[in-house]
Structure 1
Amino acid sequence: MALTPGRDHPQVDLPPGRLRGAIEGGLAVFRAVPYAAPPVGDLRWRPARPHPGWSGTRDATADGPSVPQPYMKGGDPVLGGHGSPPFDEDSLTLNIWTPAADEGRRPVLVWIHGGGFVSGSGSMPNYSGDTFARDGDLVVVTINYRIGPLGYLYTGPEEGNAEGAGNFWLTDQLAALRWIRAHIASFGGDPENITVAGQSGGALSTAALAGHPETQGLIRRVILQSPPFGLDLPGPEAYMERTAAYLELAGVKTVAELRELPWPALIGAAGGLFARTARWGYWPTPFLPVIDGVTLERHPVEALLHGAASGIDVMIGWTREEANFGFALDPAYTAADRERVTARIADTFGARAAPEVYAAYERARPGSRPADVLMDLITDELFRAPALRLAEARARTRRPVWAYQFDLPTPAHEGRLGAAHCLELPFVFANFDQWAHAPFLAGLDPAVRDGLARTMHRAWIAFARTGDPGHPAMPAWNPYDADTRTTMRFDAVVTALADLAGDARRLHATSGSGPSA
């Protein structure tokens, strides 16, 4: 595992072969490192397999392609885009930032991107690991994994997969963790001190990994940013109805025929599945993890409460107005009336309780419109309430969990987004220069923005290094427990509050939304 010195191009010898990286801003960086065999041809919709290695020296100085996904030139009005060409199925790679490829045994931070299970990439500049590596003396790894139909389509039992294993995205992530455990010491990392962090769909992935039998003893702590734990994940039979609809949209009758299609046709058919699966008042999720009983035996949130995963350090949080991300700029929702929103509430609480629940949301946000009530409901159902149930359950078992809420609203779009889903990301990474294309950051006061970013960024570093996010430049941050329910409020003024989200916790305590913790 020897390191070959080089002023501008460090080289690392690994069993799969030699890698040639680059020095960027004083860090050794290795990009587009393959961790699994290309999932092409007969390996499409198969579990990830080990990479065969390479001969000679592999150049690792440039990003490789991202996993195929929808792409809208010009971006969107919130993030400005979340994944851009080039795309290719041969993209199961990871990127590494390290202060030095030596024997330093630094803590390792593995980042798993989100994107509604259909977009994103570990190579996006937004998720560059340089700030964490430089500011925290960490080794940072970001990964590409199969998303959309290539990663989340459930194909059921078939030739070569008789047991009906699904969740190919999860097999990719497990393969990446195996690679990291085996090789990260050669990049100055400590394989016995690994923190896995993710946001949104990436946070759901992080929970699934933490509870997987194969990772026992591998993951020391997890950071769960806006995990959509309120999603009702289908079993095999329910998912096959979705698969049948997708086959029809793709113009084929069997998975074998689907395997012959080029990937652009697969991405094109995915667009139709959005429309087929959409329900008014619900976050659109055409592709989902499947509880297949093989790769995933139970909802990921439950895995953090049982077995070996119950001893992992957990930090979990959400943004105050998560759902504004997807609904606040959509006229179909901003024009919603009280009657329709009350009917949507009845889906969760029943028709008899729905008017009372509507009134409770109105009281919690004086002057709210029906659209505000709807968005607060979706925020609670999908993100806040199930995260609180996890914190409550771990508190009862005296397993530490640190909770936070991101409250700083953005003035972009006349303030309609509030503290929306994804808004905490540039603060956590402290890299606003890499988010210049994102409309949702427009208008933020630079002094407030940068001060909050310093506080959050240092807290994430502290947690990755020690399992405790507290540091001297912020108020004392105690774990969430059954007595105080301490929750850190990240806003222009950072404050530790008792039971910050108590209204949501009490309202949804018996609603049944999301899995039972």
Structure 2
Amino acid sequence: MTDDPSRRKVLQNTGLSVGAALLSGVPGGHPAAQAAPRGDDPSPVVTLPAGQLRGAVEEGLTVFKGVPYAAPPVGALRWRPAQPHPGWSGTREATAFGPSAPQLYREGGDAVLGTHGSPPFDEDCLTLNVWTPRADNAKRPVMVWIHGGGFISGSGSLPIYSGETFARDGDLVVVTINYRLGPLGYLYFGEDGASGNFWLTDQLAALRWVRDNIAAFGGNPDDITVAGQSGGALSVAALAGARPKGRPLFRRAILQSPPLGLQIPTPAESLQRSATFLEILGVKDVAQLRTLPWQQLMGATVEMFKRTGRWGYWATPYLPVLDGVTLDRHPSDLLLDGPGADIDVLIGWTREEANFAFALNETYTAATKDQVLPRVRDTFGNRATEAYSAYEEARPGARPVDVLMDLISDDLFRMPALALAERRAARKRPVWAYQFDLPTPAHNGQLAAAHCLELPFVFDNFDKWSHAPFLTGLNPRVRDGLTATMHAAWISFVRTGDPNHHAMPSWQRYERDSRTTMSLDTVTAATGDLAGYWRRLHQSTAS
């Protein structure tokens, strides 16, 4: 078998040296590092239909924090779709973040990402935050960021997701949101005409708020990009199916490591999972659940991991549901026709996604070939032995856990993302693809180019990531060069629908005849059919 170029480090003769990457411009004549002038008012006030908001000026940007976009989902509204916020009288202070959605929390976090959500937590969490160069009439492009976290963690107020860098460097208006997580966002009970996906109703409410209010913050409601990573990227795809009255909710989408390989449960399957949750807590129905404090609900998540987990699969105790009301198809299908067909899409993955969850887990690092083969058989059926050998040969010195991790990366992230790019290209719909290839030396290189590793490069904010062990040891020169390239590409896409800028090689759309995929590494280079061997291997099994 030939060596797989997407799984080895090769410095190519073509492409951009990291030292040449500069944040000095983007297509369309918009300077990438020049924000609008700072406003003179240190306490800017905007007037919205819900009432007045007072923000603050922080390092030259106008910032509004903890802005409610929906009614608090508490009491009788727990496990109900998001409801309109009633508004307020007088001027509401918007200078402090609102509480994060309730979630599990461990001081110090884990050995990969560190922490991903910090107190305070509260069910009254449906707020958003806005960064803008100035609350004026400039009609700037808008970027809405949806955090990931396996459907159980994260917050729009985390410093790592601050909109500061994008607002300043791209002259953009940036919005980050909180939404319900874990059991409060993802349990399904078949109430209210079988509606579910309360997390999705939150996000839709936030997008409608942005569409209706962002002009007051200097943004253009007709020029919105929704971006997200991991579970947040799956959210972006799910939102593409929204059929709003009037203008679309957004025109561009950035999907970073979307887990499109997840099988979304049916209502019956989701009800069974909810029954497991009820059993753990010893209650008989959702009415009793509504009487319990959220802390008790979060505590049941530990047992949910144990009861719903499967060996060789990424643990997801809570999942969306195909309820037929808020979600009637797999999210990836929603970017192919209907409202989602006309959305510009930028999609990508990291080369070793699954190393994030498995590379440091002793249960998996000690796995044998006999343990891994049944998991390979789940994907490849009677071709499991052949597929195992293919994955083994692609990594010199591969252990069984390496085969497993590469298979999970392909099953959950890379192959379904490629399939979406293939299907959009076949329909002549715009899509750009990338693979993040730069490995981290942390943990003796065991994590490689793991899930989440591209985030600080995209946001250009390594100073906010001091808590994250998986960034230890990165070469500053390599890090900063690739960061400049990626950050400017994301800004360009938000501004123009095209990620190209002058300080990187030409990034062509993903087309069926070329399959251009940008390899983001020490040398950034456009590669034709980067994962072609693996795509054909998986396609032959599917057929």
TM-score (norm 2): 0.92
Q: How many angstroms apart in 2 are the aligned matches of 1:222 and 1:55?
A: 35
Instruction: Give secondary structure in 2 for the equivalent of 1:436.
Output: coil
Residue 136 (structure 1) aligns with: 170
Q: How many angstroms apart in 2 are the aligned matches of 1:219 and 1:83?
A: 27
Residue 95 (structure 2) aligns with: 61
Residue 155 (structure 1) aligns with: 189
**What is the RMSD of the two structures over their aligned residues, measured on CA atoms?**
1.1
One-letter code of the match for 1:153?
A: L
Residue 463 (structure 1) aligns with: 493
Instruction: Give secondary structure in 2 for the equivalent of 1:317.
Output: strand
Report 1:203-352 matches (<5 A): 203-214=233-244, 217-350=248-381, 352=382
Q: How many angstroms apart in 2 are the aligned matches of 1:402 and 1:293?
A: 30
Instruction: Give secondary structure in 2 for the equivalent of 1:213.
Output: coil
Shift of 1:6: 5.7
Instruction: Give secondary structure in 2 for the equivalent of 1:150.
Output: helix
The Cα offsets for residues 243-262 of structure 1, whole Å up to 9 and x where unpaired, read as: 00000111211110001000
Bigger relative contact order (CA 8 A; separation at least 6): 2
Q: How many angstroms apart in 2 are the aligned matches of 1:278 and 1:267?
A: 17
One-letter code of the match for 1:419?
A: A
Report 1:345-494 matches (<5 A): 345-350=376-381, 352-494=382-524
Shift of 1:307: 1.5
The Cα offsets for residues 424-453 of structure 1, whole Å up to 9 and x where unpaired, read as: 000000000000110000000011101100
Give the conservation status (yes or no) of the 8 Å contact 1:65–1:88.
yes
The Cα offsets for residues 398-432 of structure 1, whole Å up to 9 and x where unpaired, read as: 11100000000000000000000000000000000
Structure 2: tracts of 5 or more residues without a match: 1-38
Give the conservation status (yes or no) of the 8 Å contact 1:23–1:29.
yes
Residue 18 (structure 2) aligns with: none
Q: How many angstroms apart in 2 are the aligned matches of 1:206 and 1:327?
A: 26
Give the conservation status (yes or no) of the 8 Å contact 2:99–2:122.
yes
Instruction: Give secondary structure in 1 for the equivalent of 2:63.
Output: strand
One-letter code of the match for 1:183?
A: N
Shift of 1:366: 2.1
Shift of 1:306: 1.4
Instruction: Give secondary structure in 2 for the equivalent of 1:214.
Output: coil
Give the conservation status (yes or no) of the 8 Å contact 2:242–2:339.
no
The Cα offsets for residues 115-165 of structure 1, whole Å up to 9 and x where unpaired, read as: 0000000000000000000000000000000010000011113xxx1x110
Q: How many angstroms apart in 2 are the aligned matches of 1:126 and 1:401?
A: 27
Residue 190 (structure 1) aligns with: 220
Range with bigger deviation, 10-19 or 459-468: 10-19
One-letter code of the match for 2:163?
A: G
Matched, 1:86 2:117: no
Percent identity, please.
68
Give the conservation status (yes or no) of the 8 Å contact 2:266–2:322.
yes
Q: How many angstroms apart in 2 are the aligned matches of 1:120 and 1:137?
A: 26
Q: How many angstroms apart in 1 are the aligned matches of 2:293 and 2:195?
A: 23
Q: How many angstroms apart in 1 are the aligned matches of 2:145 and 2:65?
A: 14
Instruction: Give secondary structure in 2 for the equivalent of 1:494.
Output: strand
Instruction: Give secondary structure in 1 for the equivalent of 2:345.
Output: strand
Q: How many angstroms apart in 2 are the aligned matches of 1:250 and 1:143?
A: 30
One-letter code of the match for 2:305?
A: F
Among residues 203, 207, 219, which one is paired with 1:173 in the alignment? 203
Q: How many angstroms apart in 2 are the aligned matches of 1:510 and 1:390?
A: 17
Shift of 1:504: 2.0
Matched, 1:145 2:179: yes
Q: How many angstroms apart in 1 are the aligned matches of 2:473 and 2:496?
A: 35
One-letter code of the match for 1:168?
A: F
Q: How many angstroms apart in 2 are the aligned matches of 1:275 and 1:507?
A: 33
Range with bigger deviation, 498-507 or 311-320: 498-507
Shift of 1:503: 2.1
One-letter code of the match for 2:219?
A: G
Q: How many angstroms apart in 1 are the aligned matches of 2:40 and 2:167?
A: 20
One-letter code of the match for 1:304?
A: L
Shift of 1:347: 1.1
Matched, 1:112 2:146: yes
Instruction: Give secondary structure in 2 for the equivalent of 1:509.
Output: helix
Q: How many angstroms apart in 1 are the aligned matches of 2:340 and 2:239?
A: 9
Q: How many angstroms apart in 2 are the aligned matches of 1:37 and 1:149?
A: 19
Residue 100 (structure 1) aligns with: 134
Q: How many angstroms apart in 2 are the aligned matches of 1:70 and 1:6?
A: 41
One-letter code of the match for 1:156?
A: G
Structure 1: tracts of 5 or more residues without a match: none
Matched, 1:30 2:67: no
The Cα offsets for residues 210-258 of structure 1, whole Å up to 9 and x where unpaired, read as: 1222386221010000000000010100111100000011121111000
